[in-house]
Amino acid sequence: MEAGREAEAIITVHDLTREFDGRRAVDGLDLSITPGELFGLIGPDGAGKTTTLRLLAGLLKVSHGEAQVAGFDLLSQPEEIKPRIGYMAQEFSLYAELTVTENLLFFSDIYGVDPEKVNERAERLLAFAGLQEFKSRRAQHLSGGMKKKLALACTLIHEPEILLLDEPTTGVDPVSRREFWEILTELNLSGTTILVSTPYMDEADRCERVGLIYDGRLIICDTPAAIRGKLPGEVLEIRPGDWRAARGVVTSLPGVHQVQTYGEALHLIVDSAERRAGEIKAALMEKGIEVPDLNPVPPRMEEAFISLIHRIESGVQV
Amino acid sequence: MSWRNIRAVMRKEIQHIVRDRATLILVLITPTVLLLIMAYALTVELEYIPVAVLDHDRSSISRKFVQQVTAGEDLDLYAQVDRFDQIEMMLVTGEIKAAVIIAPNFSQKLLALEGLPMQLIIDGTEPESGNFAVDHIAQRVEQFIREVMSKQLQTSGISEEALLPIDLRLRAWYNPGLRPRVDLIPGLISMVLGFPALSVALTLAHEREHGTLEQLMVSPIGRAELLLGKMIPYVIVGLANVIVMPVLAMLWFAIPFNGNFVLFFLLSALFLFAILSMGIIIGVFMRTQAAALALSFLLIFFPGFFLTGIFFPIVAMPEIMRMESLFLPGTHYAVITRGVFLTAIGMDVLWPYAVMLAGLGVVFTGVAALFFRKRLG
CATH number at residue A92: 3.40.50.300
| A253 exposure class (CB count in 10 Å sphere: 0-12, 13-18, 19+) | middle
A316 belongs to a structural domain: no
Highest mean pLDDT among B63-67, B258-262, B265-269, B305-309 belongs to B265-269
- What's the confidence (pLDDT) of residue B299? 87
Give the integer Cα–Cα distance in Å for B49 and B129: 7
The share of chain B scoring above pLDDT 90, in percent, equals: 39
Closest CA to A60 of A49, A71, A44: A49
- Taking residue A302's Cβ as centre, other Cβ atoms within 10 Å add up to 17
What residue ranges define each of the domains in chain B, with the CATH number in brackets? 3-42+179-371 (no CATH), 49-163 (3.40.1710.10)
Q: Are strands B49-55 and B75-81 parallel, antiparallel or unpaired?
A: parallel
Instruction: List CB contacts (< 8 A) between B215 and chain A.
Output: 87, 89, 92-93, 107, 154
Q: Which residues of A261-277 are buried (b: 16+ CB within 10 A; e: fewer)?
A: eeeeebbbbbeebeebb
Contact A59 B376 (CB under 8 A): yes
Q: Which residues share a beta bridge with A222?
A: A210
What is the pLDDT confidence band of residue A49, given thresholds at 50, 70 and 90? Answer: very high
Mean pLDDT computed over B140-152 = 81
**What is residue B56's predicted lDDT score, i.e. its pLDDT?**
92
Q: Cβ–Cβ contacts within 10 Å for residue A6, how many?
A: 12
CA pair distance B377, B208, nearest whole angstrom = 11
Q: Is the pLDDT of residue A25 over 60?
A: yes
Query: Looking at the structure, do residues A261 and A156 belong to the same domain, yes or no?
Result: no
- Residues A62, A182: one domain? yes
**Long-range contacts from B138-141, C-beta under 8 angstroms, 24+ separation:** B140/B68, B140/B69, B140/B71, B140/B72, B140/B75, B141/B69, B141/B116
Residue type, A77: Q
- Closest residue on chain B to A158 (Cα): B219
Contact A58 B374 (CB under 8 A): yes
Contact B308, B184 (CB under 8 A): no
For residue A279, what are the CA distances in angstroms to A260, A291, B243? 18, 12, 91
pLDDT of residue B141: 86
Q: What is the mean pLDDT of chain B?
A: 87
The predicted pLDDT at position B277 comes to 93
What pLDDT sits at residue B332?
92
d(C-alpha A110, C-alpha A290), whole Å:
66
pLDDT above 90 covers what percent of chain A?
Answer: 43
Could you tell me what percent of chain B has a pLDDT over 70? 96
- The DSSP line for A50-71 is HHHHHHHTT-S--SEEEEEETT
Q: Are residues A137 and A201 in the same domain?
A: yes
Q: How far apart are the first and last CA of chain B?
A: 25
- Across the interface, of A59, A95, A111, the residue whose CB is closest to B16 is A95
- Is a pLDDT exceeding 60 seen at residue B174? yes
Report the C-alpha gap between B15 and B2 in whole angstroms: 20
Q: Using DSSP, state whether B314 is helix, strand or coil.
A: helix
Predicted pLDDT at A84: 94
Residue A211: pLDDT band by 50, 70, 90 thresholds?
A: very high
Residue A303 lies in a domain: no
pLDDT (tens digit, 9 = 90+) per residue, B236-289? 999 999 999 999 988 988 888 888 999 999 999 999 999 999 999 999 999 899
Chain B residues with CB-CB distance to A23 below 8 A: none
DSSP one-letter string for B138-183: HHHHHHHHHHHHHHHHHHTT--HHHH---------SS-TT--HHHH
Do both A125 and A8 map to the same domain? yes
Residue B157, pLDDT above cutoff 80: no
Residue A123: inside a domain: yes
Residue A267 backbone dihedrals phi, psi, to 5 degrees: -105, 120
The helix/strand/coil state of A164 is strand
According to the per-residue pLDDT averaged within each range, which of A255-259, B72-76, B129-133, B224-228 is highest?
A: B224-228
Residue B167, φ and ψ in degrees, nearest 5: -110, 95
Q: Using CA coordinates, name the residue in chain B closest to A99.
A: B15
Of A60, A85, A98, the CB nearest to B376: A60
- pLDDT (0 to 100) of residue B233: 93
Res. A3: pLDDT tops 60: no
A107 to B219: CB separation less than 8 angstroms, yes or no = yes
B75-81 and A38-42: which strand pairing? unpaired
Nearest C-alpha of chain A: how many angstroms from B212? Answer: 5
Residue B228 CA to residue A121 CA, distance in Å, equals 28
The per-residue pLDDT for A227 is 87
- Single out the residue of A288, A297, A278 nearest to residue A241, CA to CA: A288
Q: Taking the model in full, what pTM does it have?
A: 0.77
Taking contacts as CB-CB distances below 8 angstroms, the residues of chain A near B219 are 82, 107, 110-111
Number of domains in chain A: 2
Q: C-alpha angle B182/B185/B189, rounded to 5°?
A: 150
List the domain range (segments joined by +) for residue A285. 232-298
pLDDT of residue B87: 92
Residue A18 clears pLDDT 60, i.e. is over it: yes
A7 pLDDT higher than 60: no
Say what the pLDDT of residue A72 is. 93
Q: Which range, of A123-137, A202-216, B126-140, averages the lowest pLDDT?
A: B126-140
Q: Name the minimum distance, in Å, from the CA of A82 to any CA of chain B.
A: 6
Share of chain A above pLDDT 70, in %: 97
- Chain A closest-CA separation from residue B236 CA (Å): 20
The burial class, CB within 10 Å (0-12 / 13-18 / 19+), for A235 is buried
Smallest Cα distance from B204 to chain A, Å? 13
| String of DSSP letters for A198-225 | ES-HHHHTTSSEEEEEETTEEEEEE-HH
SS3 content of chain B, % helix, strand, coil (to 5): 70, 5, 25
Interface test with B, best of A55, A92, A110 (most B CBs within 10 A): A110
Would you call B211 and A61 a contact, using CB atoms and an 8 Å cutoff? no
CATH number at residue A278: 3.30.70.100
Q: Which of B24, B218, B230, B376 to mutate to probe the A interface, most A CBs <10 Å?
A: B218
- Assign residue B41 a region: left if phi > 0, alpha if psi is -120 to 50, beta otherwise? alpha
What is the pLDDT averaged over residues A278-296? Answer: 82
| Cβ–Cβ < 8 Å for A143, A179 | no
If one counts every other C-beta atom within 10 angstroms of the C-beta of residue B81, the result is 18
Instruction: For residue B150, give every residue at least 6 positions away whose Cβ sits within 8 Å of its Cβ, in sequence order, or none.
Output: B160
Does A312 map to a domain?
Answer: no
A279 with A147, same domain: the answer is: no
Instruction: Give the integer Cα–Cα distance in Å for B138 and B124.
Output: 17
Do A67 and A92 belong together in one domain?
A: yes
- Does A314 reside within a domain? no
For residues A90 and A238, membership in a common domain is answered with no
Contact B211 A92 (CB under 8 A): yes
pLDDT of residue A304: 84
- Strands (E) in A105-189, as ranges, are 162-166
Q: Mean pLDDT score of chain A, rounded to an integer?
A: 87
pLDDT at B205 over 50: yes
CA–CA separation, B215 vs B189, rounded Å? 38
Cα A89 to chain centroid, rounded:
14
Residues 6+ apart with CB under 8 A from A69: A10, A11, A56, A81, A84, A85, A162
Cβ(B54)–Cβ(B101) under 8 Å?
yes
pLDDT in tens, B79-104: 999 999 999 999 999 899 999 999 99
**The pLDDT value given to residue A267:** 87
**Residues belonging to chain B with any Cβ–Cβ distance to chain A shorter than 8 Å:** 2, 4-5, 7-9, 11-12, 15-16, 19-20, 210-212, 214-221, 374-377
Nearest by Cα to A164 from A190, A142, A197: A197
Residues A172 and A66 grouped into a single domain: yes
The answer on A138 and A268 residing in a single domain is: no
Total residues found in chain A within this entry: 318
Residue A86: pLDDT over 70: yes
* Facing residue for A60 by CB, picked from B5, B11, B375: B375
Sheet holding B49-55, edge to edge: B75-81, B49-55, B98-102, B118-122
Nearest to A109 among B8, B16, B376 (CB): B8
Minimal CA separation from B298 to chain A, in Å: 29
* A59–B375 C-beta distance less than 8 A: yes
Are A213 and A283 in a shared domain? no
In angstroms, the separation between the Cα of residue A111 and the nearest Cα of chain B is 6
Distance CA A172, CA A175 (A): 8
- Hey, CA dihedral for B104, B106, B109, B111, is it positive or negative? negative
CB-nearest to B215 from A20, A89, A97 is A89
Q: How far apart (Å, rounded) are the C-alpha atoms in residues B300 and B317?
A: 18
pLDDT of B159 > 80? The answer is no
pLDDT at B109: 87
For residues A221 and A241, membership in a common domain is answered with no
Q: What is the β-pairing status of strands A294-297 and A265-270?
A: unpaired
Nearest to B15 among A82, A98, A109 (CB): A98
Q: Is residue A315 part of a domain?
A: no
Alpha-carbon span A219 to A29, nearest angstrom: 10
Query: Domain ends where: A204, A228, A252?
Result: A228
pLDDT tens sequence across A62-74: 999 999 999 999 9
How far does the CA of residue A245 sit from the closest CA of chain B (Å)? 49
Phi, psi of B299 (to 5 degrees): -100, -30
Neighbours of A120 (CB within 10 A): 9
**Pick from A203, A228, A253: which residue ends a domain?**
A228
Residues A269 and A168 both lie in one domain: no
Between A297 and A36, the higher pLDDT residue: A36
pLDDT for A297 beyond 80 = yes
- Has residue A184 been placed in a domain? yes
Q: How far is A272 from chain B (nearest CA, A)?
A: 50
So what's the pLDDT on residue A6? Answer: 47
Lay out the sheet containing A23-33: strands in order across: A23-33, A11-20, A64-69, A72-73
- With H, G, I as helix, E, B as strand and everything else as coil, classify residue A40: strand
- Write down which residue in A192, A211, A228 finishes a domain: A228
